[in-house]
Amino acid sequence: MAVATMKSPHFLAGELVEVRSAAEIAATLDADGRLDGMPFMPEMVGFCGAKLRVSRRADKTCVEGHYGLRKLGAAVLLDEARCSGAAHDGCQRNCQIFWNEAWLKPAREGGASVVADLRAETAARQQMETAATHKDDSYYCQSTVLGDITAPQSKWAVGHLVTDVKQGELSLVDFVLMVGRTVVNRARGLIGLMDIGALAGIGETKTKGTLNLKPGEWVRIRSSEEIKATLNAEGRNLGLSFEPEMTRYIGGVYQVDFRVQKIILEETGQMAKLNRTVALKGLNCRGICAKNCPRANTLYWRESWLERVEAVDAGEERRSA
């Protein structure tokens, strides 16, 4: 398939954009349904024609495994545009979707743009909704290809943070704090210490919790000492990490968003089963520990890190700005 060239605007956070029609997007894709290596997934088709605001630029992204922060470019993330996992056997990673800027255009006033050729649009949608979601014996999605389509970023580079400040995605205060945190964490690593905010236990604890939480219930995040009692020396509870950024929410009261039962592992493309694990409303990674990574990955919480509270305590809910 010939890939059409399309001049892409440089969209910034806060701008209102319209996702192009399926037919327009299909014209940018190669025979494997990708543009610059990034697949247009079946879950994205439902956003065609929608008007959404840019939440962050995605000129960089963290990549799980040994990769760390990597260069991407020519892509943005949109508000309220997360992958449903519907075409990937119900994966619940809840990833923010990457949008190549060629798939977007500035939003016009009024309704969505009129589709000129309905037959071509219908055909394009049908083709894209049935795009491959497996490669060999692994799942295939934007998450699983990130290691291959991104470029290395120096661990000591700060230019990308300066760009974030210029584009309004990082304050000067946060810039200084982030650079300082990076230097301190590097030094801590050299002497065998964990990153700032990381929690570690004294041995493997065989409990994930027994709350059997349901969406809509309220919970309080337990104290540091209670959480450390469930972690091993690497800061994991039966394989699941308590991320350094999660410490900022300790003691807060939040609402359960959904139970996390299966996710596709970014490093391997395999589906992993989880239990006694939930996502809490509004609690996503802010990139503070990952050099302002824009992905806003959903944070996963073991039930052993939480305690159920009555709905009357909902007023204690704490959300950090």
Over residues 18-34, the pLDDT tens digits come to: 999 999 999 999 999 99
Average pLDDT of the segment spanning 272-288: 95
Taking every pair of Cα atoms in the chain, the longest distance, rounded to a whole number of angstroms, is 64
Query: What's the chain's average pLDDT?
Result: 90
- Report which secondary-structure segment, H or E, holds 118: helix 118-129
Strand partners for 76: 57, 99
Question: How many residues are given for the chain?
Answer: 321
Average pLDDT of the segment spanning 121-135: 95
In contact, 275 and 261? CB cutoff 8 Å: yes
In contact, 178 and 162? CB cutoff 8 Å: no
* pLDDT grade for 171, boundaries at 50, 70 and 90: very high
- Residue 314 pLDDT: 46
* pLDDT grade for 192, boundaries at 50, 70 and 90: confident
